[in-house]
């Protein structure tokens, strides 16, 4: 990429990141502070629930069974500004929930999403994939996203 192209596109990227940051901040002030625990049911799945695939549940159970983990860990999904499409998914293992978290449970494992991130991933599906180049948790479908990068680690939101 030439320097002139970089100079031309840099202000566009900066403006988009600022816009995404503004969206995240506005979600912070409009979200409620009560914790919510939701159990996924195969017979009547909620449209706004975060869904976990069988591979996702299986991998979390494997991680919980490993000897390195002293406490039962839960998978935490959060959304941050960044990535090549404006927002990026972040997965962590956590052993506690916060007051503003939503907890989704399936097959005895828990997925935690904070209220701000939840607005960006309502109805999404989390999977665990194993490929030659990586093994990772991924958001495979997200009704709140209009596009994203090919590696599925970042996305753009509907406006």
Tell whether 66 is covered by a domain: yes
Mean pLDDT of the chain: 77
* Total structural domains within the chain: 1
Tell whether 71 is covered by a domain: yes
Tell whether 126 is covered by a domain: yes
Is residue 120 very low, low, confident or very high in pLDDT (cuts 50, 70, 90)? confident
pLDDT at 25: 57
pLDDT digits (tens, 9 = 90+) for 122-139: 999 999 999 888 899 998
pLDDT digits (tens, 9 = 90+) for 11-50: 665 666 666 656 655 554 444 434 455 544 444 456 788 9
Instruction: For 59, list phi and psi in degrees, rounded to 5.
Output: -70, -40
Tell whether 45 is covered by a domain: no
Across the chain, the runs of DSSP E, i.e. the strands, are 36-39, 51-52, 74-82, 86-94, 101-106, 109-114, 125-130, 135-141, 145-148, 154-157
Tell whether 59 is covered by a domain: yes
Q: Which domain holds residue 78?
A: 51-157
Please give the Cα distance from 139 to 135 (Å, whole number): 13
Please give the Cα distance from 94 to 92 (Å, whole number): 6
Tell whether 13 is covered by a domain: no
CATH for 60: 2.60.300.12
Tell whether 39 is covered by a domain: no
Tell whether 135 is covered by a domain: yes
């Amino acid at each position: 990429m030439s320097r002139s192209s970089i100079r031309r596109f840099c202000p566009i990227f900066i403006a988009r990141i600022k816009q995404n940051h503004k969206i995240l901040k506005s979600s912070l002030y409009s979200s409620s502070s009560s914790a919510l625990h939701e159990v996924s049911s195969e017979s009547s799945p909620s449209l706004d629930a975060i869904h976990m695939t069988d591979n996702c549940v299986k991998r979390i159970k494997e991680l919980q069974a490993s000897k390195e983990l002293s406490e039962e860990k839960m998978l935490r999904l959060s959304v941050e500004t960044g990535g090549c499409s404006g927002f990026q998914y972040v997965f962590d293992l956590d052993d506690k929930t916060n007051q503003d978290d939503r907890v989704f449970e399936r097959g005895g494992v828990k997925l935690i999403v904070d209220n701000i991130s939840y607005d960006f991933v309502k109805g999404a599906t989390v999977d665990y994939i194993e490929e030659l180049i990586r093994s990772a948790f991924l958001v495979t479908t997200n009704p709140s996203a209009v596009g994203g990068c090919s590696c599925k680690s970042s996305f753009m939101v509907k406006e």
